[in-house]
Amino acid sequence: MAKILILYSSTDGHTGKIGRRLQQVIEQQGHTVTLISVDDVTRVDLQTFDKIVVGASIRYGKHSPKITDFIQRNQYLLDSKPNAFFSVNVVARKTEKNQPDTNPYLRKFLRQISWKPRELAVFAGKLDYPKYRFFDRLMIRFIMFLTKGPTDPKAVIEFTDWQQVESFGRIIGTMSL
């Protein structure tokens, strides 16, 4: 069985939650999974993993610069192993934007980096207005208004399709070494 790293960047914690679900699914297949934030990546030896999965959330239309830096610094290593990337964003709540080839944020990100992940996924994220700071709540509500999304400042809505997450976990587990 494989030793798999899931490295993620999360703004409000939901990408970490998705990472934990992926970890559970992959471990059920008999693999060993280490789930770690990009902030703690220096605590692990990347060479010791058989497969590497990178996940990142979107805030204001961009993935975390820390994820981009990690990918640029480690592209050779990523390319040398089975690998995957997943993006978490609220625009993926829309059926026409919830696939790697239809999600504008993922498509833009892939054009900005030279790494070509072997497997890709896009997951709808979560809105948690009460948790956001004042400015973020204001801006996200404005974006939701423009995109015909929910704007109730008390709303907490999880758009994630957990079956889609679990399916991606099974794909990761079966990626060939």
The token duo for 68 is 């981009």
Query: H helices within 29-161, ranges in order?
Result: 65-73, 75-79, 104-112, 134-146
Tens of pLDDT, residue by residue over 57-86, are 998 889 999 999 999 999 999 999 999 999
Tens of pLDDT, residue by residue over 2-53, are 999 999 999 999 999 999 999 999 999 999 999 999 999 999 999 999 999 9
Q: CATH classification of 3-125+160-174, choosing from 3.10.20.30, 3.40.50.2300, 3.40.50.360, 3.40.50.11890?
A: 3.40.50.360
In whole angstroms, how large is the CA radius of gyration of the chain?
16
CB burial class (10 A; 0-12, 13-18, 19+) of residue 33?
A: buried
Q: Over the chain, what is the mean pLDDT?
A: 96
Residues in the chain, how many?
A: 177
Crossing angle between the packed helical segments 14-28 and 162-174, to the nearest 10 degrees: 50
Tens of pLDDT, residue by residue over 111-163, are 999 999 999 999 999 999 999 999 999 999 999 999 899 999 999 999 999 99
- In 113-149, which positions are buried (b, 16+ CB within 10 angstroms) versus exposed (e)? eebebebbbbbbbbbbbeebeeeebeebbeebeeeeb
pLDDT at residue 177 tops 90: no
Domain coordinates of the chain in residue numbers? Answer: 3-125+160-174, 126-159
Q: What is the pTM of this model?
A: 0.95
* Single-letter amino acid, residue 11: T
